[in-house]
Structure 1
Amino acid sequence: MQAAELFEQKIKPPEVARCLRVSRKSAYQWHQLWRDGGAQALASRGPSGSRCRLSPRCLEKLAAYLEQGPAAHGWVEDQVWTAARVATLIGRKFHVSYSVSGATRLMHRLGFSPQVPARRVAERDENAVTIWKEATWAEVKEPGRPAEATSASRTRQASPDGRPEDAPGAGTVAHRR
């Protein structure tokens, strides 16, 4: 509604855009809407997107289920609510289908965050992994290119003068326009 007040004061769209920190395109669109329908045309139509498929009462029940923890609903491996588990729980309890991303948004709306379980092989030997990282990886890992072999310029190659004698193009002189 600030835009409507500014337009009523005969302030031009570019100035409105600067004052309200929006794009000029948005200010011109708002100005057109204001000219055609007045301040009411600029009133918010509410949040966009589809409506929640769960009633407020179902949302309360879902929050209570989430508070109980995953083990209370059959996931005993670990104590984390993943978005996939929440989507499954919603399907089981309320017979409503939710995608994983939809379940994530719903969890955030209820004040929860989805957790990602650590996926490790049960037979993993942490001591062997540490020894391999320290001994074998140091031998296998290739060194990166030396800093002097690259050019900092994206538009021009490094000067041939700075190249090693056996490098390609080292003996040629680059002609620049």
Structure 2
Amino acid sequence: MLESLKFNPRIWFLLGFLGCVFLLSMGAYFQLVDGLEPCPLCISQRIAIAATGLCFLVAALHNPSPKGVKIYSLVGATLALCGAAVSARHVWIQHLPPDKVPECEPPLEYVFNNFPLTKTLKLMLNGTGDCAEVNWQLLGLSMPAWTLVAFLLLATLSVLQIWNNKAE
């Protein structure tokens, strides 16, 4: 069965890139059309999706040698797993009891303009009380939970390219 999934890794990297474009498009849709403002962890997840997608795009355009496929696969999987870690933290914050949720911080734009970069990065990666709100669900899972699933799928797709490339 898995033999039927063996394509040129370049095609799979391109599909991974298109998946990342889709995820970023959905985030833009929810923000711009539905009016859901992203919290700091949501923005961090978007950055991780963009970085993973950029890695996949470069791999697809580069058409690397077998050694290059392995390197791109490991970099793509690492970026996706970093995003998965942020998503997992976000899901964890959403499941905290109300008295354990971190305090809400000023809006991210204010923090960017008035605080040092280290404080801004810490805020973006640690999350705030805003991150505990569940504004959207599908099949009982929140947006960060679906993003966690997507990151795990992207990491799996990336690692599978090492196996996929051995047959060529």
Using structure 1 for the length normalisation, give the TM-score: 0.22
Using structure 2 for the length normalisation, give the TM-score: 0.23
Larger Rg: 1
**Higher RCO (CA 8 Å, separation ≥ 6 residues):** 2
- Decide which structure has greater helix share: 2
